[in-house]
Amino acid sequence: MKIINNLAALVKVKTLVTLALITVFSILAIKGSISPDNVTNVVLMVISFYFGTQMERE
């Protein structure tokens, strides 16, 4: 049951938005549309916000 609950938690909207954002910025960095420094900043902000809100809940 714990595995099912963990999988259900992964499919939350916030998780999907985070993964989509990281994917888009990574693709843009690989194509050269934006600099890798910008990608690093945005990804770090999103991940720290995501994990920060997760820690507050628990």
Both tokens of residue 44? Answer: 């770090």
Domain that holds residue 12: 2-57
DSSP state string for 1-58: -HHHHHHHHHTSHHHHHHHHHHHHHHHHHHHTSS-HHHHHHHHHHHHHHHHHHHHHH-
- Confidence band, pLDDT 50/70/90 cuts, at residue 54: low
pLDDT attached to residue 10: 67
Mean per-residue pLDDT, 18-33: 83
Counting the structural domains of the chain, the total is: 1
Task: Give yes or no for residue 6 having a pLDDT over 60.
Answer: yes
| Per-chain mean pLDDT for the chain | 77
Left if phi > 0, otherwise alpha if psi is -120 to 50, otherwise beta: which for 32? Answer: left
Q: pTM of this prediction?
A: 0.53
Task: Give yes or no for residue 22 having a pLDDT over 70.
Answer: yes
Contact 43, 22 (CB under 8 A): yes
